[in-house]
């Protein structure tokens, strides 16, 4: 019986297999090229290396980084690759459209010189930016004392009015203000990052004024994500309202905060506030922060329709005095449609007299749902409600 791979003419057989080999080689290389789009391939030629994909920066200065970004941007975008080392910056690194700024993890450090005050990496009204695998050292405070308003402008990484941008596997530390921030962005993602020892907050989503190309007014961050990040040891007593792990404030909508670890921040683990609607806060571990693990805060305006599910809150605030989850009254209106379910709230510290409930709900609230949470420890009660609302559903023990 003849095999299906046997042919009468040997030359034909050889030609057939050669053709198949060439086709497979061509297809494989085509796939590799497609998967490698936007990947810089280093070719050492002096201070920087330019190729069809992007540029490799070899001089350890902010000026060299900015020059590479500008050159790659003029060609329509691509990768600016930063090999390991410490890059000393005397001015901000300002991103451009479709730039991927990539390093070699914690070994690539962008460090602000201490004598000057500025944000380390910034982008305004951009699209398609990626910041990946690098560390930002804010060098904490500039030499001499700065007023609080000035310190608040000294971020590690900040994006404003940007679309479809990502910050991946980056560290931001020792910044006078926030570690990593988005204001008014659309589909901005912070994934796998570490923000710590910053003077203000670890991460921020909030209101921005610079829209696409700086021409379109923006409100808050929309459809944004903070996922699998850590925020810890943030806060400075000289900064008002400082030291929150994730700070969500003003018109943040339809966003996801998931799988993060927020611990040992000076104030709350997570804060959400005015007009922050339809957000999902899920699967986070929030522990050992200076105040409540989660706060729906007392600000000028209310928020609504936020879901808090499957979070673990452990040993936050002062034992016996601080609720794990605090829903305050807004200054105007009512916080409504807040849903807390399947969260684990645990107090493991010694408490002689407990004056705090695990969940506290203030007066100007309504349509609050508390359901199927696991609460453990010496709490005054599972849930204390002073709500004036008539539509709450509180499945917890008083």
**pLDDT tens digit at each of 398 positions of the chain:** 444 444 455 554 444 444 444 344 434 433 322 223 333 333 333 344 445 568 999 999 999 999 999 999 999 999 999 999 999 999 999 999 999 999 999 999 999 998 888 999 999 999 999 999 999 999 987 655 566 656 667 899 999 999 999 999 999 999 999 999 999 999 999 999 999 999 999 999 999 765 555 445 568 999 999 999 999 999 987 666 689 999 999 999 999 999 999 999 999 999 999 999 999 999 999 999 999 999 999 877 999 999 999 999 999 999 999 999 999 999 999 999 999 999 999 999 999 999 999 999 999 999 999 999 999 999 999 999 999 999 999 997 65
Q: Which pLDDT score, from 0 to 100, does residue 236 have?
A: 83
| β 48-50/54-57 pair status | antiparallel
CB 259 within 8 A of CB 284: yes
Closest by Cα among 239, 241, 344, 332 to 284: 344
Give the C-alpha distances (Å, rounded to integers) separating 241 from 11, 177, 266, 295, 299: 80, 11, 10, 13, 12
Closest by Cα among 161, 198, 192, 160 to 178: 198
Question: Do 239 and 301 sit in the same domain of this protein?
Answer: no
CB 265 within 8 A of CB 289: yes
Q: Which pLDDT score, from 0 to 100, does residue 116 have?
A: 87
**Does residue 36 lie in a domain region?**
no
CA quadruple 205, 283, 261, 348: dihedral positive or negative? positive
Q: Which of 233, 267, 301 is the last residue of a domain?
A: 267
**Does residue 33 lie in a domain region?**
no
Helix, strand, coil shares of the chain as percentages rounded to 5? Answer: 10, 35, 50
CB 204 within 8 A of CB 242: no
Question: Do 261 and 298 sit in the same domain of this protein?
Answer: no
CB 218 within 8 A of CB 209: yes
* CATH code of 196's domain: 2.160.20.10
Degrees (nearest 5) of the Cα angle 154, 155, 159? 130
Q: Which pLDDT score, from 0 to 100, does residue 194 have?
A: 98
**Tokens 């300002």 map to which residue?**
94
Burial of 69 (C-beta count, 10 Å sphere; 0-12/13-18/19+): buried
Q: Which pLDDT score, from 0 to 100, does residue 28 have?
A: 43
252 secondary structure, DSSP code:
-
Q: Which pLDDT score, from 0 to 100, does residue 298 have?
A: 81
Question: Do 104 and 184 sit in the same domain of this protein?
Answer: yes
Question: Do 58 and 85 sit in the same domain of this protein?
Answer: yes
**Does residue 395 lie in a domain region?**
yes
**Does residue 194 lie in a domain region?**
yes
Q: From CA 336, how far away is CA 7, in angstroms rounded? A: 77
**What range does the domain containing 295 cover?**
268-398
Domain count of the fold of the chain: 2
**Does residue 203 lie in a domain region?**
yes
Question: Do 305 and 364 sit in the same domain of this protein?
Answer: yes
Q: Which of 222, 241, 267 is the last residue of a domain?
A: 267
Give the C-alpha distances (Å, rounded to integers) separating 357 from 285, 286, 398: 19, 17, 9
Runs of H (alpha helix) within 42-199:
62-74, 148-151
Beta partners for residue 207, in sequence order: 220
Question: Do 231 and 343 sit in the same domain of this protein?
Answer: no
Task: Say what the pTM is.
Answer: 0.86
**Does residue 45 lie in a domain region?**
no
Runs of H (alpha helix) within the chain:
10-35, 62-74, 148-151
Residues in the chain: 398
Question: Do 76 and 168 sit in the same domain of this protein?
Answer: yes
Q: From CA 101, how far away is CA 238, in angstroms rounded? A: 33
Count H helices, E strands: the chain?
Answer: 3, 37
**Does residue 39 lie in a domain region?**
no
Q: Which of 227, 243, 267 is the last residue of a domain?
A: 267
Give the C-alpha distances (Å, rounded to integers) separating 383 from 309, 360, 373: 16, 6, 10
Q: From CA 167, how far away is CA 318, in angstroms rounded? A: 34
Question: Do 259 and 343 sit in the same domain of this protein?
Answer: no
Q: From CA 131, how far away is CA 283, in angstroms rounded? A: 25
């Amino acid at each position: 019986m003849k095999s299906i791979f046997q042919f009468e003419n040997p030359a034909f057989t050889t030609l057939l297999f050669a053709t198949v080999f060439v086709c497979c080689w061509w297809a494989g290389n085509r796939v590799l090229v497609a998967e490698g789009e936007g990947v810089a391939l280093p070719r050492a030629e002096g201070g920087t290396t330019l190729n069809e994909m992007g540029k490799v920066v070899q001089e350890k200065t902010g000026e060299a980084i900015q020059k590479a970004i500008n050159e790659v941007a003029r060609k329509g975008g691509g990768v600016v690759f930063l090999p390991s080392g410490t890059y000393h910056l005397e001015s901000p690194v300002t991103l451009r459209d479709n730039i991927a700024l990539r390093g070699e993890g914690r070994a690539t450090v962008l460090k602000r010189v201490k004598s000057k005050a500025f944000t380390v990496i910034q982008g305004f009204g951009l699209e398609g930016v990626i910041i990946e695998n690098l560390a930002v050292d804010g060098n904490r405070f500039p030499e001499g004392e700065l007023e609080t308003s000035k310190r608040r402008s000294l971020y590690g990484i900040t994006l404003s009015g940007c679309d479809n941008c990502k910050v991946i596997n980056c560290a931001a530390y020792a910044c006078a203000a926030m570690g990593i921030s988005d204001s008014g962005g659309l589909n901005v993602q912070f994934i796998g990052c570490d923000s710590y020892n910053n003077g203000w907050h670890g991460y921020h989503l909030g209101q921005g004024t610079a829209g696409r190309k700086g021409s379109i007014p923006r409100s808050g961050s929309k459809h944004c994500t903070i996922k699998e990040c850590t925020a810890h040891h943030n806060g400075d007593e000289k900064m008002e309202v400082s030291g929150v792990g994730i700070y969500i404030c003003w018109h943040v909508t339809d966003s996801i905060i998931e799988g993060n670890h927020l611990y040992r921040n000076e104030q709350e683990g997570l804060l959400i506030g005015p007009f922050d609607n339809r957000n999902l806060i899920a699967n986070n571990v929030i522990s050992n922060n200076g105040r409540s693990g989660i706060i729906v805060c007392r600000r000028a305006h209310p928020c609504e329709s936020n879901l808090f599910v499957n979070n673990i809150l452990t040993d936050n605030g002062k034992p016996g005095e601080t609720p794990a989850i605090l829903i305050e009254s807004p200054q105007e209106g009512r916080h409504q449609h807040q849903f807390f379910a399947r969260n684990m709230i645990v107090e493991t510290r010694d408490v002689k007299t407990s004056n705090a409930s695990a969940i506290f709900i203030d007066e100007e609230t309504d349509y609050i749902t508390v359901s199927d949470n696991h609460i453990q420890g010496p709490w005054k009660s599972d849930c204390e409600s002073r709500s004036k609302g008539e539509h709450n559903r509180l499945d917890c023990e008083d």
